[in-house]
């Protein structure tokens, strides 16, 4: 990973991530891609994972796991992964 991985997360970045994840979550609900029990599980995971990430690299690692478990969030992971790798 690049040096960007060690950049501390601030509230502005967290808000952007939460907004992107919320948009993907709403689309997944509207498209019937996740069930009601899954919604609760995912929401708890997102709050804990994004909240616990201290650096951009930790955030991208969390998003990779989330996107691996729930493919509807893969595009969010890819967006932040591309930003991490960009020079």
pLDDT at residue 53 in the model: 96
Who's near 51: CB < 8 A, 6+ residues apart?
A: 14
3 state DSSP class of 53: coil
Q: What tokens appear for 11 in the block?
A: 């509230």
pLDDT at 2: 54
Contacts within 8 Å (CB) and 24+ apart, 39-43: 42/66, 42/70
Per-residue pLDDT of the chain (87 residues), as tens digits, is: 458 889 999 999 999 999 999 999 999 999 999 999 999 999 999 999 999 999 999 999 999 999 999 999 999 999 999 988 885
pTM greater than 0.85 (yes/no): yes
Domains in the chain: boundaries: 3-85
Contacts of 39 (CB under 8 A, 6+ apart): 25, 29
């Amino acid at each position: 990973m690049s040096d960007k991985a060690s950049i501390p997360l601030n509230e502005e970045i967290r808000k952007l991530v939460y907004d992107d994840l919320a948009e993907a979550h709403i689309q997944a609900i509207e498209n019937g891609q996740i069930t009601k029990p899954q919604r609760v599980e995912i929401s708890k995971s997102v709050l804990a994972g994004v909240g616990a990430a201290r650096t951009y690299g930790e955030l991208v690692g969390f998003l990779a796991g989330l996107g691996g478990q729930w493919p509807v969030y893969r595009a969010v992971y890819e967006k932040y992964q591309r930003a991490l790798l960009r020079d």
